[in-house]
Structure 1
């Protein structure tokens, strides 16, 4: 379309220079009529769906130029409309470059060590199976998630965690797909397929973000009716007072709404790109608009305010020995997705315990898991209240801050208790302080953990309002009942998925891979830093501010040009050319959102994840 418009404008101008005015007028009329029909068709379809857009002004302006004989001005409007669409695509492509980079870097191949002959074979990454031994060569991208088999591996995880300093992983440590190996080759065992790996989940989120259309685009349409009315009013008055219908066309030529149509989507694509640069994948532009106005924040405890890497610190036996207590707990926890399950099973395996065979198991969200062993006995693992249902009295424990107790019952008797510690994130307290400075004054904790553990974490980070021992349904009710709006919720577990989906803005701590939380959330933090929450809110505010500034800039300039044209000081052709300049100004103004990440407060004030803090102290690995 833009090439047709440019060619028609060039041909019309050439014909006019050659004295073929009639042929020039006919050519211009045909091209303008074609564009009017195409634009009008789209406009009517939008109007039938209840959306009154700004294209009506462009259609009226093009028709008016033909009726009054301003064919050259009409062609310039055509070029402006089609060129504006092309410029918008170019701007969107530039704005989404950061998002596309993730997709383009997705690993395509892996080098597998065949079990039979020990040969290294290059295979498509989709063929990697769990348990495969892979060779990762120097500077290669890790194809899937896995554990290190070599004595050590030095990898750059900046593309997936945001931490700029390479980290050293020892034998048995986990490594993430999408990380870049250093100069030394190492072997790893795949723990996930390519589709289930960490990097694949990020790529999927990015694709959703790129494909989405920012609802903020409709913000420009909210100006459609008043802007159209004002433009037609000015044009009508100018025609009436001057008695010249050309004046009507001259006013409408500079009233074409391209700046308003272009500014919002370009700004929001830029904001989404800026968010990606600080390791936050925003799935749609509407999320940025809500984040810019957020006034309340609910946070889960485990994996959000805490590091989410709990460790077993003590085991106490009651009716069973400590080894039996651990073995029964691990047998049941194999079937749990709770964050405590993995460390319990890991400790049992490290100690070489034989886990009793399990016939069936069922998990009760936020409470625990019940397993029926092969001999028919029941094992119940979880909170005190959950285990007390079958054991009766449970002795009270004096726990240190940040320590959680997991009770174990076997055949209705209290077998023992496991104590786990999950340290508070080092950046949590400062992050909450920055949130309050951003206007998020209503901050509360919503967790399924017991009151004592939740209170100790709340005291450590400065949260007074705490909702403990909440089920997923109760979490939803707490957030929905909150009076400060919009409200965001931050979580990372499967039991957080309902509340993330129900809140105004759900933010998932998704650094450890794809979960129900990240799928139901509006945005996903792909690094281990809670401070990214402050970053994305700041980016959102700046993006919305830039979008509105760009829209109003286009309105003010257009109204000013309309007034000049109304007094007869701006010929139609000159006005059409000036409107092209207005388009460029609007796009350049909106593109400022691409650099919104450069002004985030946590970066300026040094809030960072534990990995970055370690790097600043000169520590590059474990």
Structure 2
């Protein structure tokens, strides 16, 4: 009940219309129809005046709508004493505007989350090695900044530390942490991993990646999409026709009340309120599916869409790596998996967690490991039942063992070495959602002619099969900076 009252208070014209209607009903029941007529008629004329002021501004701007007909109907019904009919028209007008404003407000609230998460301060390392917290706008190109674990990178820069692991999902859609080495470019908006890092700023805050995304969101909030109500599309001819018909009815009958009757019947209240109701329903359904609709104009334009571009990770896929294959060399596959999981269970890397979960899913107990040492962004080593186990990237395993491990096929490879020799590798992949193929097929049936998969990984173009979408085209993001709200353009190299 409180929620309903709170929403009504946010729309005073709607609330006032309901209150005036209730007061008028009480007066009618108390045997005071004259008082009821005065109260309701006065309120209706006030609403008509408010609508007329906005209508005049629209007419001066060259915009024509059926509000003219509605205002005329309110005035004419009050003039002939049909005040209840005037109140109904008031309720339709204010209710339709309230629904449209409420729907747009929900979309705005969803979009403000990104603005609130924008970095506001940065930790600058001075020449004497001390660290000073400063507003992000005061960071200059060339400043060395310290980013603590799990903090957001405040500005674009170059990594000064030996290595770092960052979560770039908010920028690229890639759910897995990305490993970087000294000299790599880091983009603002990425979240640092478990160790502090140093970076040298290469751009001001206003010119950095995250601020450009924030600017796009603000632009989306401020833009006014050309939403046109169904009734407004025929506003001018319909209004002229209705007014002509009302005058004709008066002339034929000789009764002025006929003017009000025709105008009330002609007022397209269902058309005025239909679009906001339909938009609110569509927006609510989209929100339940995690889709934010910016405005009513956006929803209208969606019906004319003929191309759909999908980010791969977390959209078409689950967004979580899973072990898909175990390639053993010299040991049993089950033994290789358990040895890898034994040292990986001490790591917080998502790939390590996926390996441990897969090992535990087999029903076997994961053994403990001793002397575990993790090299961030590279791998981990430890001793399992007296055997030295090294798990990580191919480069890390090669460096630790002095050998060259086998290369995995499709997917991400986690290499394993036991007692100084390669023992195989585990293949991990982000599996396709089972409903992806059906969704793409449904879009094709709905008139979408082109479907694109946008992926940040090279040479990964999923072919069509009963469980895979039949892509019209697949594009690879060859430039990390283009993967932004405006990146759904044909500017990336096609997938092979």
TM-score (norm: length of structure 1): 0.43
Give, in angstroms, the shift of residue 229 of structure 1: 6.0
Is 1:39 equivalent to 2:8 in the alignment? no
Give, in angstroms, the shift of residue 105 of structure 1: 1.8
Q: Is the 8 A contact 1:220 1:260 kept in 2?
A: no
Report the Cα distance in structure 2 between the residues aligned to 1:282 and 1:69, rounded to whole angstroms: 43
Partner of residue 184, structure 1: 195
Cα 1:526–1:276 shift into 2, 3 Å = farther
Cα 1:511–1:143 shift into 2, 3 Å = same
Deviations 1:361-408 (A, max 9, x none): xxxxxxxxxxxxxxxxxxxxxxxxxxxxxxxxxxxxxxxxxxxxxxxx
Q: Is the 8 A contact 1:213 1:284 kept in 2?
A: no
How do 1:103-142 residues align onto structure 2 when only pairs under 5 Å count?
103-116=115-128, 118-142=129-153
Q: Is the 8 A contact 1:145 1:177 kept in 2?
A: yes
Cα 1:88–1:293 shift into 2, 3 Å = closer
Instruction: Give the match's secondary structure for 1:110.
Output: strand
Report the Cα distance in structure 1 between the residues aligned to 2:490 and 2:188, rounded to whole angstroms: 15
Q: Is the 8 A contact 1:154 1:168 kept in 2?
A: yes
How do 1:466-505 residues align onto structure 2 when only pairs under 5 Å count?
none
Greater shift in the superposed pair: 47-56 or 68-77: 68-77
How do 1:8-19 residues align onto structure 2 when only pairs under 5 Å count?
8-19=20-31
Give, in angstroms, the shift of residue 92 of structure 1: 0.6
Indicate which of 252, 257, 262 corresponds to 1:248.
262
Report the Cα distance in structure 1 between the residues aligned to 2:294 and 2:133, rounded to whole angstroms: 35
Give, in angstroms, the shift of residue 163 of structure 1: 2.1
Indicate which of 190, 207, 212 corresponds to 2:218.
207
Higher RCO (CA 8 Å, separation ≥ 6 residues): 1
Give, in angstroms, the shift of residue 108 of structure 1: 1.1
What runs of 5+ residues in structure 2 fail to find an aligned partner?
Answer: 1-11, 308-439, 451-460, 462-474
Indicate which of 463, 481, 486 corresponds to 1:512.
481
Indicate which of 17, 20, 33 corresponds to 1:5.
17
Give, in angstroms, the shift of residue 527 of structure 1: 10
Cα 1:16–1:283 shift into 2, 3 Å = closer
Cα 1:23–1:287 shift into 2, 3 Å = closer
Give, in angstroms, the shift of residue 35 of structure 1: 1.4
Q: Is the 8 A contact 1:110 1:125 kept in 2?
A: yes
Report the Cα distance in structure 2 between the residues aligned to 1:284 and 1:114, rounded to whole angstroms: 50
Instruction: Give the match's secondary structure for 1:524.
Output: coil
Greater shift in the superposed pair: 197-206 or 16-25: 16-25
Is 1:84 equivalent to 2:96 in the alignment? yes
Report the Cα distance in structure 1 between the residues aligned to 2:278 and 2:294, rounded to whole angstroms: 16
Q: Is the 8 A contact 1:509 1:528 kept in 2?
A: no
Q: Is the 8 A contact 2:221 2:294 kept in 1?
A: no
- Structure showing the higher helix proportion among its residues: 1
Report the Cα distance in structure 1 between the residues aligned to 2:180 and 2:490, rounded to whole angstroms: 17
Report the Cα distance in structure 1 between the residues aligned to 2:300 and 2:198, rounded to whole angstroms: 41
Report the Cα distance in structure 1 between the residues aligned to 2:61 and 2:105, rounded to whole angstroms: 28
Instruction: Give the match's secondary structure for 2:123.
Output: strand
Give, in angstroms, the shift of residue 211 of structure 1: 0.9
Is 1:154 equivalent to 2:165 in the alignment? yes
Deviations 1:36-86 (A, max 9, x none): 122122223322333221212321332243134332342233233223322
Partner of residue 466, structure 2: none
How do 1:188-267 residues align onto structure 2 when only pairs under 5 Å count?
188-217=199-228, 221-225=232-236, 227-228=238-239, 245=258, 247-248=261-262, 251-252=265-266, 255=269, 257-259=271-273, 262=276
Give, in angstroms, the shift of residue 525 of structure 1: 1.8
Is 1:71 equivalent to 2:83 in the alignment? yes
Give, in angstroms, the shift of residue 201 of structure 1: 1.0
Q: Is the 8 A contact 1:61 1:256 kept in 2?
A: no
Partner of residue 66, structure 2: 54
Report the Cα distance in structure 1 between the residues aligned to 2:282 and 2:223, rounded to whole angstroms: 11
Greater shift in the superposed pair: 134-143 or 65-74: 65-74
Give, in angstroms, the shift of residue 226 of structure 1: 5.0
Partner of residue 599, structure 1: none
Number of residue-to-residue matches in the alignment? 332
Cα 1:142–1:176 shift into 2, 3 Å = same
Instruction: Give the match's secondary structure for 1:223.
Output: helix
Indicate which of 165, 184, 188 corresponds to 1:173.
184
Cα 1:290–1:9 shift into 2, 3 Å = closer
What runs of 5+ residues in structure 1 fail to find an aligned partner?
Answer: 296-432, 442-459, 461-490, 492-507, 534-608, 611-622
Report the Cα distance in structure 1 between the residues aligned to 2:486 and 2:82, rounded to whole angstroms: 53
Instruction: Give the match's secondary structure for 2:124.
Output: strand
Q: Is the 8 A contact 1:154 1:181 kept in 2?
A: yes
Bigger Rg, which one: 2
Give, in angstroms, the shift of residue 147 of structure 1: 2.0
TM-score (norm: length of structure 2): 0.53
